[in-house]
A and B are shown apart, each in its own frame.
Chain A
């Protein structure tokens, strides 16, 4: 029976999909409607006011803009530094190359959480507390990015390398004209991975910022939850606004997402 095969699928879909569904529904209701029992599971007269309240009064607009800025800067920087270092480790000869590469790999063994106390002090000493550099500068390089790009660049055929040299290509031209275009899928996948990690950061932005002018949207949600206890509709609208950019991005880049998320597994 084909119909029976849909039963476990349907049950799991309801369990997993329901929290997101009810969040969207509740963002279109008023707070008293959300609290009413029996609950409203479908909004017959959707209200859109909670979104503008969340966006303006609860500063979600500012938080989203801050997150977008910080995230884009991090992704751009991580891609550039990782591609350059990955290329150097794969194609260039210099003393202590192996040691330098090992140092980069070793950073994968040091979780960010174990270094927050001294790192916060460093940020304070640099005069960057509660500013964008505090949110960006510590993430200008990525050990996993360097590792992934080096491995991928080592796979570039040697013939191509020799041909480029004969054509008078220097390292920079070889990198930008040949190596990067060949590896565009991996660079895209890494950029998406970097975007998600930067956008979703929570602990670090929490401890190095204190005013809404520089706070990111994840910390903004914390403020929202604390300050709008009675306005559950605004809270739900806020979570929708915070998740929406990621949702759009994931729909647009589904294939890169799968590749990005599985890159570590396939390489490992």
Chain B
């Protein structure tokens, strides 16, 4: 394409267009091969039922597999676990991050030390955090099991009622550094004289928080909520390292179910259907949240 552009005399506009395509092309090729093609392929794979035994041909079943999977008890159970995980991790993470940012926003000697500690968990990956907590929660040698009086008995991660809350706490802990940094940056960007003027006018600290700080923080809270919900829907490493979906499927979130279906049970049809559903959920969620919060953010500012 470029060679041709050089051989003949072309107008600058044509040469610019050729150069433009050349610079955009690498990204478009990667997206075509690893984003759009596999998305279409997943939809297509979902039309075929994987046979119960290997070496048999996949059977074309049309859209019926989408319907049957979406209404099947194992899928609904997995969806319920995923939503519970989101509810356990996202709101608490935002409230905690906001509270820590407010605490660290005081003018005190040595406050930098606290800021460093609060943001320190950004240095940990999901795998680092999970392996640390897995060892600390070990029923035999784990320090946390010992302190929680669980030494020797059923481990916390092996307890059906405690496993998902425990995985949520690990996730909360690992994400708190990020949320804290985010909220701190937003809090520090609020002009001091605005809060000072409100104080002079006699507004209590709660009114100042409710009427000034919160509205000004709403775009950041929105961002944290979107990133948090999407992140929790995609949470995989902590499940793989802490519980493998157990005990008794109590931590079998959607993404882990997809992994299990595809790479352990070789049921590509099922995995593809659930992948498409996961995609649709995240797609709608992102759009809905944008729409909802955009209005809130707008009203907050105009008030």
Contacts and interface: CB of A to CB of B under 8 A. Distances in A.
B121 interface: yes
Contact of A22 (B16, B26, B31, B143): B143
A93 interface: yes
Given A16-B173, A104-B31, A119-B34, A113 B126 contact: no
A85 B276 contact: no
Majority secondary structure, A binding face: helix
B241 to A, nearest CB: 6
Contacts of B103: 8-9, 12
B122 A85 contact: no
A19 B133 contact: yes
B237 interface: yes
Contact of A138 (B30, B106, B120, B233): B30
B125 A246 contact: yes
B24 A17 contact: no
A81 interface: yes
Interface residues of B, number: 90
B27 A225 contact: no
A20 B120 CA distance: 9
B220 interface: yes
A143 B31 contact: yes
A224 B135 CA distance: 12
Contacts of A12: 100, 103, 114, 118
A109 interface: yes
Contacts of A265: 182, 185-186, 219-220, 223-224
Contact of A88 (B24, B37, B268): B24
A122 interface: yes
Interface in B220-266: 220, 222-224, 227, 230, 233-234, 236-237, 240-241, 255, 258-259, 262-263
A53 interface: no
A100 B223 CA distance: 26
Contact of B16 (A39, A94, A114, A119): A94
A232 B141 contact: yes
B108 interface: yes
A246 B30 contact: no
Given A203-B236, A250-B123, A5 B275 contact: no
A17 B236 CA distance: 24
Contacts of B162: none
B183 to A, nearest CB: 10
A13 B108 contact: no
B23, B28, B173, B272 — most chain A CB neighbours (10 Å): B23
Nearest to A143: B31
A95 B13 CA distance: 11
B13 A93 contact: yes
A34 B113 CA distance: 28
Interface stretch (A44-52, A151-159, A176-184, A237-245): A237-245
A140 interface: yes
B134 to A, nearest CB: 6
Interface in A192-225: 196, 199-200, 202-203, 206-207, 217-219, 221-222, 224-225
B173 A115 contact: no
A160 interface: no
Contacts of A239: 128, 131-132
B141 A114 contact: no
Contact of A207 (B185, B241, B263): B263
B195 interface: no
A87 B121 CA distance: 35
B76 interface: no
A85 B23 contact: yes
B123 A100 contact: no
Contacts of A84: 23-24, 26-27
B186 A268 contact: no
A230 to B, nearest CB: 9
5 contacts: A6-B108, A12-B118, A82-B27, A109-B283, A262-B181
The 8 closest A-B pairs by CB, nearest first: A118-B38, A92-B20, A94-B17, A115-B38, A141-B27, A118-B41, A114-B279, A94-B20
